[in-house]
């Protein structure tokens, strides 16, 4: 896999290569045979922002480690195949590409003699197991498409700051039970200890990196880090993964903030035994204990005030602060997992999210207390391991205003729309790379309507026209903010809002 240095040490050779590559292909017919009138025409760029983007989403959606379903986890064989495809699309958009030491793919355009901070765009290339094709991929491909339009229109050279697309190697955290391996490395918050974390088969992050010819040392991880001074902002396009925009009949929304999340692993140890011979009264069965804990978690999150002690309530549980509190057990494993054996051990994952960090922390504490209590009652031994926590993340108000404006003008421009109302403003219950990137820079997010609010499922669906709207809104945002002539105009317009 092609490796190259991070942008702090970008040799100007990269720039020269990128510019000459641009000059070499700046005809009006492009690699995929799609034609675009060099920025002329109706200015809606349907061929690239809709048709090609959708084709590419489908292509990426087929690159899977699973037979007949989509699964692409951190540095899996499919993710390496996907890397090559994404790199080729970035090149096609006139970008200089490299893969960093955590497997993140970068595609950057650096205007000549520009020392300003970069605008970063992107999302994640990994997926959950049995995933849909839009979660993550939509943000990567829309960003590449928007820059391809700028390239074809001859506007990349007029960028007033470097613009870079990043396809993050891991956001879902499926393989290592953690999240943001990719974006946290870029933000510089990935601890060195991550190298020793192992997956279910005992393979560590370090093993996987080495297997794929990465250096896999703490120093190498440090190379993936961007300095805060080199970055101006990060913008992510993502499918909504919820039903709000569909209900509002609006294709795009902007995100005010992202819920905080905690992930735990609960390990329940009991007495393994024969299913036919051990009387019910003498059992120490970790399966039923786990079942009780799963139901306890559900009750706690449905009706927190019923469970909390006076101290835990701390006066913070108003209806508003409880909004968005959700708790999930998504994975439960038993050992030895046979129908005629009382299990010896059961472990399961817990995912707790809330907009209010205090609420989330209190739920984590009270669930941990309830686990110990219930396990004592059932004479099993339980441990709660803390896997991951991220605080709620506000999006930057100024960026959000710019995105809102870009979304509004886009929606009114597209065929079939006369006047567009205000762009909806949403909170995100799902986690996003923007959470990790917020440790590095200002973040903004654009949400795209999806069918039925369904995500993390092969049933994920975004209408082709909404994919188009997302790409066009991102293009408008980039044009209005980082293309020379329009930047000042846009700032003045926003100031007037």
Task: Select from 21, 37, 237 the least CA-distant residue to 143.
Answer: 237
Task: Give me 238's structure tokens.
Answer: 């993502």
Minimum Å distance from CB 172 to Mn ion? 5
Distance CA 313, CA 307 (A): 10
Query: What's the min distance (Å) between Cβ of 421 and ligand GLV?
Result: 28
Report what 253 binds from Mn ion, ligand GLV, none; CB cut-off 5-8 Å by kind. none
User: Least distance in Å: CB of 392 to Mn ion?
Assistant: 17
CA dist., res. 427 & res. 326, Å (int):
14
Question: From the CB of 394, what's the least distance to ligand GLV, in Å?
Answer: 17
Is 136 a binder of Mn ion (CB under 5 A)? yes
Residue number closest to Mn ion, CB atom: 135
Based on CB atoms, which residue is closest to Mn ion, 308 or 434? 434
Q: Distance between CA atoms of 394 and 189, rounded to whole angstroms?
A: 18
Query: Is 460 an interacting residue with respect to Mn ion (CB under 5 A)?
Result: no
Is residue 244 within 8 A of residue 426, CB to CB? The reply is yes
Max Cα–Cα distance, the chain, nearest Å: 81
What is the spatial distance between Cα 88 and Cα 468, in angstroms, rounded to a whole number?
A: 21
Distance of closest approach, residue 108 Cβ to Mn ion, in angstroms: 22
Residue 7 is classified by DSSP as G
Smaller CB separation from ligand GLV, 260 or 471:
260
By the rule CB under 6 A, 172 interacts with ligand GLV = yes
Q: What token pair was written down for 358?
A: 């205090």
Q: Which residues, 413 to 432, sit near ligand GLV by CB under 6 A?
A: 430-431
What CA–CA distance (Å, rounded) separates 57 from 357? 35
- CA-nearest of 165, 143, 211, 218 to 188 is 218
DSSP letters spanning 390-425: E--EEPPHHHHHHHHHHHHHHHHHSTT-SS--PPPE
Whole-Å CA distances, 455 to 34, 75, 464, 468: 30, 22, 16, 19
Q: Which residue has the tokens 């991880």?
A: 221
What is the distance between the alpha carbons of residues 60 and 270, in angstroms, rounded to a whole number?
A: 44
What six digits make up the tokens of 484? Answer: 């020379």
Q: Which does 431 bind (CB under 5 to 8 A by kind): ligand GLV, Mn ion, none?
A: ligand GLV
User: Which part of the chain contacts Mn ion (CB under 5 A), choosing from 6-14, 70-78, 131-139, 148-156?
Assistant: 131-139
What track of x and - describes contact with Mn ion for positions 78 through 117 (by CB under 5 A)? ----------------------------------------
Q: Identify the residue among 47, 110, 126, 135 touching Mn ion (CB under 5 A).
A: 135
* CB closest to ligand GLV, residue no: 431
Cβ 133 to ligand GLV shortest distance, Å: 14
Number of residues forming the site for ligand GLV (CB under 6 A): 3
3-class state of residue 90 by DSSP = helix
396 is a site residue for Mn ion (CB under 5 A): no
**Nearer Cβ to Mn ion (70/411):** 70
Q: Which of 431, 487, 493 is nearest to 456 (CA)?
A: 431
Compose the 190-229 pattern: x for residues touching ligand GLV by CB under 6 A, - for all others.
----------------------------------------
Taking the least distance from each CB to Mn ion, the nearer of 136 and 424 is 136
Cα angle 33, 35, 37; round to 5: 160
Site string for ligand GLV, 429-448 (x = CB under 6 A): -xx-----------------
Among ligand GLV, Mn ion, none, the one that 269 touches (CB under a kind-dependent 5 to 8 A) is: none
Alpha-carbon distance 422 to 246, whole Å? 15
61 binds Mn ion (CB under 5 A): no
Between 253 and 343, CB nearer to ligand GLV: 253
Stretch that binds Mn ion, among 65-73, 85-93, 105-113, 127-135 (CB under 5 A): 127-135
- From residue 188, give the alpha-carbon distance in Å to each of 30, 166, 202, 294: 37, 15, 26, 35
- By the criterion CB under 6 A, which residues form the site for ligand GLV? 172, 430-431
- By the criterion CB under 5 A, which residues form the site for Mn ion? 135-136
């Amino acid at each position: 896999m092609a490796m190259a240095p991070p942008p702090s040490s970008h040799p100007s050779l990269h720039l020269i290569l990128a510019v000459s590559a641009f000059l070499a292909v700046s005809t009006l017919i492009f690699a995929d045979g799609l034609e675009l009138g060099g920025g002329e025409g109706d200015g809606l760029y349907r061929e690239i922002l809709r048709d090609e983007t959708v084709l590419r989403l489908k292509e990426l959606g087929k690159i899977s480690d699973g037979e007949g379903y989509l699964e692409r986890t951190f540095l899996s064989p499919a993710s390496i195949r996907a890397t090559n495809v994404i790199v080729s699309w970035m090149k096609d958009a006139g970008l200089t590409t490299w893969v960093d030491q955590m497997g993140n793919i970068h595609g950057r355009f650096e205007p000549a003699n520009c020392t300003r901070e970069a605008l970063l765009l992107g999302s994640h290339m990994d997926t959950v197991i049995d995933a849909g094709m839009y979660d993550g991929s939509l943000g990567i491909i829309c960003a590449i498409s928007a820059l391809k339009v700028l390239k074809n229109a001859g506007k990349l050279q007029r960028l007033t700051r470097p613009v870079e697309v990043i396809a993050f190697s891991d956001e879902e955290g499926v393989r290592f039970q953690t999240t943001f391996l990719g974006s946290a490395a870029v933000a510089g918050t990935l601890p060195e200890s991550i190298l020793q974390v192992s997956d279910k088969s005992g393979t560590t992050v370090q093993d996987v990196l080495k297997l794929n010819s990465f250096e896999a040392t703490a120093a190498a991880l440090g190379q993936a880090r961007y300095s805060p001074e080199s970055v101006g902002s990060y913008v992510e396009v993502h499918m909504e993964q919820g039903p709000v925009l569909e209900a509002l009949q609006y294709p795009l929304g902007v995100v005010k903030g992202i819920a905080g999340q905690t992930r735990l692993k609960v390990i329940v140890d009991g007495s393994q035994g024969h299913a036919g011979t051990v009387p019910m009264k003498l059992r120490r069965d970790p399966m039923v204990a786990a079942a009780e804990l799963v139901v306890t978690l559900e009750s706690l999150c449905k009706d927190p005030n019923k469970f909390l002690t006076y101290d835990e309530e701390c006066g913070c549980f108003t209806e508003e602060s409880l909004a968005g509190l959700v708790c999930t057990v998504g994975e439960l494993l038993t050992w030895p997992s046979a129908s005629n054996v009382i299990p010896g051990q059961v472990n399961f994952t817990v995912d707790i999210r809330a907009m209010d960090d205090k609420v989330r922390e209190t739920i984590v504490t009270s669930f941990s207390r309830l686990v110990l209590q219930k396990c004592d009652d059932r004479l099993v031994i339980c441990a709660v391991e803390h896997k991951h926590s991220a605080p709620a993340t506000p999006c930057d108000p100024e960026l959000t205003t710019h995105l809102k404006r870009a979304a509004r003008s886009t929606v009114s421009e597209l065929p079939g729309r006369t006047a567009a109302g205000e762009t909806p403003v949403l909170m995100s219950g799902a986690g996003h790379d923007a959470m990790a990137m917020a440790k590095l820079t200002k973040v903004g997010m654009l949400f795209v309507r999806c069918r039925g609010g369904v995500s993390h499922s092969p049933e994920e669906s975004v209408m082709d026209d909404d994919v188009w709207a997302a790409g066009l809104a991102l293009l408008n945002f980039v044009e209005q903010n980082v293309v020379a002539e329009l930047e000042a105009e846009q700032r003045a317009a926003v100031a007037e809002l």
